[in-house]
Amino acid sequence: MEQVCFVLKSIEMTYLDKEILKIDSLAVHQFDRIGIVGKNSAGKSTLLKLLADEIQPTRGNVLRHVDCGYFKQLEPASGEGADDALLGRLAIPHSSDRLSGGEQTRLKLAQLFTNYHEALLIDEPTTHLDQDGIEFLLDELRYYYGALVLISHDRAVLDALVTTIWEVHEGEVRVYTGNFSDYKVQKELEQEQQRQAHEQFLKEKKRLENAAEEKMKKAEKIAQAASMSKREAKAKANLMFETKSKGTSEKAVHRAAKAIEHRMEKLQAIEAVQEDRPIVFRQSKALELHNKFPIMADRLTLKAGDNVLLEDVSFQLPLGKKIAITGANGIGKSSLLHHLASHGESLTISPKARIGYFRQMSYQFPVNETVMQFLSKRSDYDQGFLRSVLHAMQFTGTDIQKSVLSLSGGEAIRLQLCQLFLGEYNILLLDEPTNFLDIHALDALEQFIKGYEGTIIFVSHDKTFIENTADLRYVIRSKMIHLE
């Protein structure tokens, strides 16, 4: 029988009187491979911190029976204690001075895997990692002999590593068997069952409404007949018997109608499934480009200081396509996007090009506006459409009245992405837009890209995101750019 590693019992986790988590009972066993999913701020990292003994629950108990390794999200690392062979495989120095985000993540992974732990708790390990770094992570964890609990927004990583999904939703944890793709199938099945139950509810409600209406009409006819009987009273000898009979019938029909209405009140309402409508960003005629290749490079050499990133390269980026730029960390992807945004040397860019540029970690807001004011002032779309775009990016209810200066980093990134797709641009440059987005926001961003009529050039290491959105893929290696 498999050993129990962790048990959560009668857990309640509150923050400023807001309930973050409520768990009756949940356990992690010796060889479990669990992926935790859910929206940003749903409580995923809180759940992992409870398991790691980083925080204590407001109520309830967490029982820990094993030693565990814990990979924290966005925590600086040093090279101390990391295995030299692992550092070599990850191509990072021992010193943590001036390490990039990707190198910091690689270093933390090297430290995590240097010693064996009976359980590993890992929070968003793929942020900033290139494809080589992700492959290293997969290699280490595929054959790991122990319990794995993993938070990730990388769907390909979840598919490769986990056999159970914990979905954190409105404070509760729902358990699904299988990897992420299996979970998606089960969620779609749940939605289809809800859709059918809602349709059945509407049919039954309509049937009862019609039945009640028929009974009331019948009662009305009986009442009219009784009224006529009174006018004919003097002409009929059996008046008392006939009037009494009709009055009794009318009351019986009224009672039947009331009984039907009571059944309608007790009918359990099934909510309609919230369907995501496709969002299409229409471009004005003034923004239309007619160059078949709005961006072209002729013998471009790109440097970062004395380091040559691209040498004597030429390429043409076609109109209206969604183009992925890939390659290892530090190879020059972000530098290339910046060069395009700056209309740099050796480039020919259409004079009608209006470029919107999303840069990593660039979400400072210049003035104090609400979320809705911020978008309204920078877009020609009506407020109904703006609300639908914001809702897709998880700005719901009073979120649209929040001050932009009070937004979290993740919220600011989502708002900036909304603004770019809604703005007066015909070319978008997106530098790792998937970092810090949860899976729901990733789905929305994919829909944004599919519904955008202009040209999009983006950098990403998310394999599933690239497969779902890119028409073309260029890879940078050996100071050259290749179409794959």
Is there a single domain that holds both residue 10 and residue 131?
A: yes
Answer yes or no: is 318 within a domain. Answer: yes
Output the six-digit token pair for 107.
Answer: 């270093």
Contact 470, 327 (CB under 8 A): no
Is there a single domain that holds both residue 104 and residue 148?
A: yes
Answer yes or no: is 440 within a domain. Answer: yes
Burial string for 270-284 (b: 16+ CB within 10 Å, else e) reads beeeeeeeebebeee
Is there a single domain that holds both residue 240 and residue 303?
A: no
Is there a single domain that holds both residue 100 and residue 231?
A: no
**Vertex 68 angle, CA 64 and 70, to 5°:** 120
Tens digit of each residue's pLDDT (9 = 90 or more) over 421-464: 999 999 999 999 998 888 989 999 999 999 999 999 999 999 99
Facing residues of 459 across strands? 325, 431
Output the six-digit token pair for 327.
Answer: 């390659």
Total count of domains within the chain: 3
Amino acid at 337: L
Contact 270, 194 (CB under 8 A): yes
Burial string for 210-234 (b: 16+ CB within 10 Å, else e) reads ebbeebbebbeebeeebeebeeeee
Domain boundary among 148, 178, 208: 178
Is there a single domain that holds both residue 224 and residue 247?
A: yes
Output the six-digit token pair for 306.
Answer: 């004395």
Domain boundary among 178, 203, 220: 178
Residue 416 host element (H or E): helix 409-422
Answer yes or no: is 184 within a domain. Answer: no
- Give residue for tokens 């290139």: 130
284: alpha, beta or left? (left if phi > 0; alpha if psi -120 to 50)? beta
Is there a single domain that holds both residue 140 and residue 254?
A: no
Contact 283, 453 (CB under 8 A): yes
Contact 205, 267 (CB under 8 A): yes
Residue 114 belongs to a domain with what CATH number?
A: 3.40.50.300
Tens digit of each residue's pLDDT (9 = 90 or more) over 289-316: 889 999 999 999 999 888 999 999 999 9
Answer yes or no: is 296 within a domain. Answer: yes
Is there a single domain that holds both residue 153 and residue 100?
A: yes
Q: Find how far residue 382's CA is from the centre of its chain.
A: 24
pTM of the model: 0.81
Residues contacting 93, CB < 8 A, separation 6+: 79, 87, 99
pLDDT value of position 216 = 75
Is there a single domain that holds both residue 122 and residue 261?
A: no
Is there a single domain that holds both residue 38 and residue 125?
A: yes
Domain boundary among 210, 235, 266: 266
CB atoms within 10 A of CB 34: 20
Is there a single domain that holds both residue 60 and residue 117?
A: yes
pLDDT value of position 455 = 96
Alpha carbon separation from 325 to 45, 295, 336, 357, 463 (Å, rounded): 31, 14, 9, 15, 12
Regions of the chain where pLDDT drops below 70: 1, 74-82, 85-88, 90-98, 215, 219, 226-250, 253-254, 257, 273, 275-277, 361-363
pLDDT value of position 246 = 52
The range of the structural domain enclosing residue 69 comes to 4-178
Is there a single domain that holds both residue 454 and residue 376?
A: yes
Least Cα distance to 214 among 257, 255, 245 occurs for 257
Helix axis angle, 383-392 to 439-450, nearest 10°: 130
Answer yes or no: is 290 within a domain. Answer: yes
Answer yes or no: is 280 within a domain. Answer: no
Answer yes or no: is 278 within a domain. Answer: no
- What pairing do the DSSP bridges indicate for beta strands 164-169 and 172-177? antiparallel
Is there a single domain that holds both residue 227 and residue 147?
A: no
Answer yes or no: is 121 within a domain. Answer: yes
**Vertex 185 angle, CA 72 and 136, to 5°:** 35
